[in-house]
Amino acid sequence: METTTAVDTGQRKNQIWAFIVTGIMILISFAYYKVNVYYMYLIAYIWFGFAYGMMLQYGRFCFASASRDLFAAGVPRMAVGILVALTFFSLIQATLASTNMSTFHPAPFGIHTLISGLIFGVGMVLAGGCASGSLYKIGEGNGTSFLAAFFGLCIGQAVFVDVTWFNFLVPQKWVDAAVVNAAARNIPVEKMTSSFDTYLAGYVWNQPTLQLSHTKAISEALPGAAKYFIGDSLLNALIPAALLLIVIYAFYSRKGFMKKRAKAKGGATGFGDEIAGIWNMITASKRTTIMGVIIGIVAGLHIFVMKGMQIKFGVANFGELLTRMGHAADTSIKGTVFDPGYWYITSQEGQLGGWILDKLGWNMRDNIFFGVNNGLPDPWRNPALWMSLGIVFGAMVMARLSNEFKFKLPKGELIVWGLMGGILMGVGSRPALGCNIGAFFIRVAGGDPSGWLYGTGMVGGAFIGVKFFNWWSERKMAKEMEAF
């Protein structure tokens, strides 16, 4: 009886906390609206972030888990969830693109995307979560994820884009090209000081962008909306996702399923059983798969709403609204701030890190990333950062409602893994201009093949990370078993 009462009290406490957090978010939203109607733009980011946070936590939706759990435990749950989300998101993306309501833009395509994904992939395994996964896990009270996000994605990323430590990696031809490209874009030399600036202006800006619907072959063969549905969605997302599902089934699920099936039928199995096996794999973790569907739809809706906001206020970037409200100092020299118009994770955390370092006296505006492109708004006026905070608080509410919230301070080896992983994720998200969400999920669904390049890198990095942890845990298990 006592135990039941304690459980009830704990549940009630968690529910009260869930209501308090939700209430605070509502109050914050009203306060912003009261200050200026332009903050509707920022409020939209808050609540989409909140929704992402709830869905990520409920579905245990983590991109690190997708490849890591395949390699470490042979479990395809998360890989399936992501491919399902991708399928739905790509169809909505195509619908939005065909009605001119998409904010999607492809990224420069090159080997840097693969390398960047590889670094990020190792980092996400060490940190115990990808960029979005780390945020939802912070909402669950996970201190290791906080270390990874704060010191890696925030501070690490900001330092990375501002230092000259990597000049030894920069060839002279990039330096020369950077000068030409910067002059062509009227970028003052004092805003181009870091190694990353030279890489960006001298190399990345010279790389081609690719979106299948915009290629000559597809846009000529398929005029109108068909090019988005067939080029961007079917060819770039749906067919590769279906093929990947079949490969994952063949390597990880088929054997166990067919064994059970053969036993149940008492005889040979056929093609119908293979189809049943694929369906069984997709529905094995209903909460993940269902969340995959909903996340895909919400991510599409997010694009629609942000485009609607831009049309309503007659802007293309929130920086214009900040300027109208008298906060021009928040923006870059182009008058912009980081405002992706869709689900994105890492750049805004870099802005938070940059803002903190700037306040501590480190000039963070003398680079392209903050000074020219993304600005350095105060955190409370940073729309994309509010999306990240929304993810944390949305996940916190869901974790509280499920009685899964627990403060866990990072201890021992987890401090090392969290810091190392976070820094690798921070560094790995910059060269490709995005992370598991911005560089993989959004791009693949938008018809940009560079998303698959980043995803391939991530999977390769996860494989390396899992190999390392397998070796590490084997050592510890052997030590424990000495006593047997």
The contacts found for 331-337 with CB under 8 angstroms, 24 or more apart, are 331/375, 331/377, 332/370, 332/371, 332/372, 332/373, 332/374, 332/375, 332/376, 333/187, 333/188, 333/191, 333/371, 333/372, 334/372, 334/373, 336/373, 336/374, 336/375, 337/374, 337/375, 337/377, 337/382, 337/383
By CB under 8 A, tell whether 33 contacts another protein. no
By CB under 8 A, tell whether 346 contacts another protein. no
Round to the nearest angstrom and report the end-to-end CA distance of the chain: 38
Q: How far is the CB of 301 from another protein (least distance, A)?
A: 26
C-alpha gyration radius of the chain: 23
145, 211, 367, 382: which one contacts another protein (CB under 8 A)?
145
38, 52, 88, 252: which one contacts another protein (CB under 8 A)?
252
Among 158, 135, 149, residue whose Cα is nearest residue 360: 158
12, 24, 74, 264: which one contacts another protein (CB under 8 A)?
74
Only segment of 63-71, 240-248, 308-316, 344-352 that touches another protein (CB under 8 A): 63-71
Q: Using CA atoms, how far apart are residues 239 and 241, in angstroms rounded to an integer?
A: 5
By CB under 8 A, tell whether 400 contacts another protein. no
414, 435, 442, 453: which one contacts another protein (CB under 8 A)?
414
Residues 311 to 340 in contact with another protein, rule: CB under 8 A: none
By CB under 8 A, tell whether 132 contacts another protein. no
43, 65, 101, 307: which one contacts another protein (CB under 8 A)?
65
Q: Using CA atoms, how far apart are residues 274 and 394, in angstroms rounded to an integer?
A: 38
By CB under 8 A, tell whether 253 contacts another protein. yes
* Contact by Cβ (8 Å): 342, 45: no
Q: How far is the CB of 465 from another protein (least distance, A)?
A: 9
12, 185, 265, 287: which one contacts another protein (CB under 8 A)?
287
> Smaller CB distance to another protein: residue 193 or 280?
280
Backbone angles phi and psi of 375, in degrees to 5: 70, 180
By CB under 8 A, tell whether 295 contacts another protein. no
Coil/strand/helix, residue 408? strand
By CB under 8 A, tell whether 12 contacts another protein. no
> Smaller CB distance to another protein: residue 5 or 186?
5
Q: Using CA atoms, how far apart are residues 125 and 67, in angstroms rounded to an integer?
A: 9
* Contact by Cβ (8 Å): 343, 441: yes
Residues 462 to 481 in contact with another protein, rule: CB under 8 A: 466, 469-470, 473-474, 476-477, 480-481
C-alpha distances in angstroms, 405 versus 151, 287, 393? 22, 18, 12
By CB under 8 A, tell whether 9 contacts another protein. no
Extract the tokens encoding 249.
């089934």
Q: Using CA atoms, how far apart are residues 440 and 71, in angstroms rounded to an integer?
A: 20
Q: Using CA atoms, how far apart are residues 136 and 50, in angstroms rounded to an integer?
A: 10
Q: How far is the CB of 418 from another protein (least distance, A)?
A: 8
By CB under 8 A, tell whether 214 contacts another protein. no
> Smaller CB distance to another protein: residue 390 or 421?
421
Q: Which residues sit at the interface with another protein, rule CB under 8 A?
A: 3, 7, 10, 60, 62, 64-65, 68-69, 72-75, 77-78, 125, 128-129, 137, 140, 142, 144-145, 252-253, 256, 259, 284-285, 287-288, 399, 402-404, 406, 408, 411-414, 466, 469-470, 473-474, 476-477, 480-481, 483-484
